[in-house]
Amino acid sequence: MNIAVCVKQVIDTEAEKRLDPATWRLDRNVTCILNPYDEYAVEEALRIKEAHGGEVTAVCMGPQKAEDAVRKSLAMGVDSAVLVVDEALTGSDVQATAYVLAEALKGIQWDLVIFGVRSTDGETGCVPAAVAERLGVPLLSTLAKVEVQGSSVAVHRETEQGYVSYECPLPAVLSVIKGINEPRYPSMKGIMGAKKKPLDVKDASALGLDTAQVGLSGSKTKVLSARIPEPRKAGVKIEDDGTGAQKIVEFLASQKLV
Amino acid sequence: MDFTLTDDQRMIREMARDFSQAEIAPQAAEIDRTGAFPADILKKMSELGLMGLPIAEEYGGAGADYTSYCLALEEITRACGSTGLTYEAHISLGCMPIYYYGTEEQKREYLPMLCSGESLGSFGLTEPNAGSDAGGTQTTATLSDGEWVVNGSKCFITNAAYAKFVTITAVTDKGKGTRGISDIIVPTGIPGFKVRAAYEKLGLHGSNTTELFFDDVRVPEKNLLGVRGEGFKQFLAVLDGGRIAIGAMGVGIAQAGLDAALKYAKERVQFGQPIGKFQAVQFKLADMAMNIELARNMYLKAAWLKDTGRPYTQEAGYAKLFGSEMATKAALDAIQIHGGYGYIKEFPVERYLRDAKLLEIGEGTSEIIRLVIARGLGL
């Protein structure tokens, strides 16, 4: 059972998010971390490997410093990694990113590809689906439980009402949600051993990518503008002196809500 | 000049911070209140390989450097002083003497059980009548039929109730002064060796502080650690390393104090604005932040000197002295910023003060450290 786990480096969830007004791209010159949702994906991959054997490979696209996020996955126990770094990829949208990841995935052995449900910066949650489409394999997304049974996988797909059980033959692409497991801390030996594990850094030409399909210019979506939401205004506090209900109705009416 | 931490050091600090904040910090107030030894936390730390962090892999360690250990210690102590001191004594005083001075056979016998956390590390130096004046050691070890016969007592010994053995100092050659002191490895639980944990302390309530009593305790002659008669020299070197670590602990407690005080100063409103808007409060916070960074830079430099094989006695003294005194001051200021709330146990800052004070006493009082530094100046 070989597993590829796709990981992304994101800006620290506690860091202030700033957009570059020229490109509307996120300023990444702040503390960056492994996308928290990807930690669940890495943990799930490691648990499947521990139960069924095989190898886990991390696949990442990003700037050179995304190596830190990849190293963390290696420190957690991932066996090897592929990091795709190329200036030409900067600004890639969902489809362009999916194209790059799919091409990188074609270069390695896997029965399962596991993603975190979304990144905490882009927040689209669409990359797993786009990658599955390009690879021509089934997608099972927003999973709260994954069980590999021989050459198929049984999953719980979380919905607003509960969950739906699916079974699916391998190979497949999965995306997992927070709470599917408790991601492990990298051990000290894991950290010290991470730099000895194979990390294959590839550029666009090494993957044979068509550069017209990647980067800001190769992306089909264009960000026209963006703005920071106005800070939420303080609410109106109504003390109930017997006329509370009346005042609430008046307020709702004044907002044309009733 | 390059102040960049290595990738390993950064990852170890990040992991130690995540682990400490998630697994240790939520328990710290309870550990302080009950004095319960944090055994479950230490079990997790063992599983993560923290207990042998700066020890070579061949002895069961993780093979990281001393700097990495100090970074991890800062984060652990920031979450809980008791857990921090337990860890510090385990590595600096428990593991290091064996690692530095043990024969190959001793290293293979004792280090794996320390690195795995099966035994905590413990070092017995202080005696009722030999504290700062360690040369006044009265515990004796006499060779008889190929065995050392140990008699005497030790006090203020960290971790001994959770140790499978304690490395102690004892007079092996009377009349030779400090050159008559040797280090001897004494297994716990053997006839005549009693460990008692009965102190009521100001702080660090979860740390295991014990008295040791030796009544004709017999251990094999091969349990001598290092060179006979050089025990004094050996523990001075061990304490040099420990002082860097105490500096890191001071930074950890002071950082926790700053974290708490900063949060409080932003939330607490008086005279119509958060008290952090007042210069009187700002100046305290600014001083805390500055002193913490200075102390951090000092312990990191001392650790770097040690890791690169350079002399570091003087810098270790600076790191310990400045780091510990700064921590007490930071804890006091954190209490002052909290006002009445700082004096009650609902907020963590009074604990920081009680925990920080020990750092000015253990492993060389501030006064002894000043003497060491002055000696380095040629006085």
- Determine the pLDDT at residue A24: 82
Residue B71 lies in a domain: yes
Residue whose C-alpha is closest to residue A98's, from A131, A141, A69: A131
Nearest CA in chain B to A72: B11
Helix ranges restricted to H, chain B: 7-19, 25-34, 39-47, 66-79, 81-88, 96-101, 104-115, 231-267, 279-307, 313-338, 349-359, 366-376
Q: Where are the domains of chain A?
A: 3-218
pLDDT given at position A34:
96
| CATH code of B176's domain | 2.40.110.10
The verdict on B47 touching A (C-beta cutoff 8 Å) is yes
Question: How far does CA B100 lie from the centroid of its chain?
Answer: 17
What pLDDT is stored for residue A22 in this prediction? 81
pTM of structure: 0.91
The pLDDT score that the predictor gives to residue B372 is 95
In this prediction, residue A27 carries a pLDDT of 84
pLDDT band at A117 (very low <50, low <70, confident <90, very high): very high
**What are the tens digits of pLDDT across the range A192-213?**
999 999 999 999 999 999 999 9
Cα B282 from chain centroid? 31
Contact B37, B83 (CB under 8 A): no
Chain B partners within 8 Å of A75 (Cβ): 11, 15
Residues B200 and B316 reside in one and the same domain: no
Identify the CATH class of A3-218. Answer: alpha beta
Residue A234 scores a pLDDT above 90? no
pLDDT at A28: 84
By Cβ distance, the residue of A72, A185, A192 closest to B8 is: A192
Rounded-to-integer distance, Cα B124 and Cα B138, Å: 12
Report the distance separating Cα B88 and Cα B77, nearest Å.
9
pLDDT at A255 over 90: no
B66 within a domain of the structure (yes/no): yes
Whether chain A has a CB inside 8 Å of the CB on B112: the answer is no
pLDDT at residue number B13: 97
**Domain harbouring B103, CATH code:** 1.10.540.10
Digit-coded pLDDT (tens) for A4-54: 999 999 999 888 888 888 888 888 888 899 999 999 999 999 999 999 999
A69 → chain B, closest CA residue: B11
B300 in the same domain as B267: yes
Nearest Cα to Cα of residue B157 among B119, B176, B131: B131
With DSSP H G I counted as helix, E B as strand and the rest as coil, what are the percentages for chain A, rounded to 5? 30, 25, 45
Statement to judge: residues B84 and B207 lie in one domain: no
Length of chain A: 258
**3-class secondary structure, A82:** strand
Boundary (domain end) residue, out of B207, B229, B251: B229
Q: Which residue has the tokens 């770094």?
A: A85
> Considering the domain boundaries, does residue B2 fall inside one?
no
In a shared domain, residues B170 and B240 = no
Per annotation, catalytic residue among B57, B74, B363, B367: B363
- Structural domain boundaries, residue B163: 123-229
User: What are all long-range contacts of B19-24, with beta carbons under 8 Å and residues at least 24 apart?
Assistant: B19/A185, B19/B44, B19/B45, B19/B48, B19/B75, B20/B75, B20/B76, B20/B78, B20/B79, B20/B80, B21/B79, B24/B76, B24/B79, B24/B80, B24/B83
Distance between CA atoms of residues B288 and B281, nearest Å? 11
**B5 CB within 8 Å of a chain A CB:** no
Among B4, B8, B57, most A C-beta atoms within 10 A, so best to mutate, is B8
Q: Are residues B316 and B346 in the same domain?
A: yes
Share of chain A above pLDDT 70, in %: 100
- Which tokens go with B158? 């960290």
Interface of A with B (CB under 8 A): 68, 71-72, 75, 185-192, 194-195
Lowest mean pLDDT among A9-23, A62-76, A239-253: A9-23
Based on the fold, state whether residues B247 and B151 are members of the same structural domain: no
Closest CA to A3 of A35, A42, A36: A42
Separation in Å, CA of B144 to nearest CA in chain A: 43
B15 and B137 share one domain: no
Residue B220 lies inside a defined structural domain of this protein: yes
- In tens digits, what is the pLDDT along chain B, a chain of 379 residues? 899 999 999 999 999 999 999 999 999 999 999 999 999 999 999 999 999 999 999 999 999 999 999 999 999 999 999 999 999 999 999 999 999 999 999 999 999 999 999 999 999 999 999 988 988 999 999 999 999 999 999 999 999 999 999 999 999 999 999 999 999 999 999 999 999 999 999 999 999 999 999 999 999 999 999 999 999 999 999 999 999 999 999 999 999 999 999 999 999 999 999 999 999 999 999 999 999 999 999 999 999 999 999 999 999 999 999 999 999 999 999 999 999 999 999 999 999 999 999 999 999 999 999 999 999 999 9
Q: CATH number for the domain including B248?
A: 1.20.140.10
Kindly list the residues from chain B whose CB atom is less than 8 angstroms away from the CB atom of residue A70. Answer: none
Q: Are B202 and B281 within one domain?
A: no
Same domain, B21 and B68: yes
Domain endpoint, select from B77, B97, B115: B115
Q: How confident is the model at residue A258 (pLDDT cuts 50, 70, 90)?
A: confident
Position A169 scores a pLDDT of 96
Overall number of domains in chain B:
3
Whole-angstrom distance, CA of residue B192 vs CA of residue B139: 14
Question: Per the domain annotation, does B80 fall within a domain?
Answer: yes
B115, B147, B162 - which closes a domain: B115
Residues in chain B within 8 Å Cβ distance of A191: 8, 11-12, 15, 62, 64
pLDDT at A59: 98
B268 and B342 housed in the same domain? yes
Assess whether B49 and B153 both reside in one domain.
no
pLDDT score of A228: 79
Q: Is B363 marked active-site?
A: yes
Q: Are residues B61 and B186 in the same domain?
A: no
